[in-house]
Amino acid sequence: MSVVCEVVECARSSYYHRPMVVAEQGLQQAIEAVAAAWPRYGYRRVTHQLRREGWTVNHKHVARIMRERGLQVHRKPKRRTTTDSRHAFPRYPNLVEQLEIVRPEQVWVSDVRRVGAYGIPVEDRRG
């Protein structure tokens, strides 16, 4: 066999290699079934679920099939929590709103929602 491989100019390992055949249609149906049962599963969790069900499959293969079939999970955008106005504490009046400002650095205000390290406000508003 070595002589034949030398004549054809291919490695002996290429001659003896038998690629593993995966039932592509069955795998696609299995991926769709898992994605339908758990719609928030991404390719990693789908891969692990398929392995639990007995499939021998690579995560890259599952990711490619999910991308081609449009089964990717869309992430929810994270919302930044700023102020909780539904509290029982009193709301204090704005004392600067009616004030007439006549000189520089007469009034300093800051936004207490944005306090950085060591209790220093991140934004100062000078009026």
Helices (H), the chain: 2-8, 12-16, 24-37, 43-52, 59-69
Please say whether the beta carbons of 59 and 65 come within 8 A: no
Beta carbons within 8 Å of 56's beta carbon, 6+ residues apart: 20, 22
Instruction: Indicate the SS3 state at residue 121.
Output: strand
The whole model's pTM is what? 0.49
pLDDT at 126 over 60: no
| Pairwise CA distance, residues 96 & 106, whole Å | 10
Residues with Cβ within 8 Å of residue 50, at least 6 apart in sequence: 27, 30, 31, 34, 57, 62
**What does the pLDDT look like over 46-97, one tens digit per residue?**
999 999 999 999 999 999 999 999 998 888 888 877 677 788 888 888 888 8
Count Cβ neighbours within 10 Å for each residue of 75-87 and write b for 16 or more, e otherwise: eeeeeeeeeeeee
Residue indicated by tokens 């100062």: 124
pLDDT band at 45 (very low <50, low <70, confident <90, very high): very high
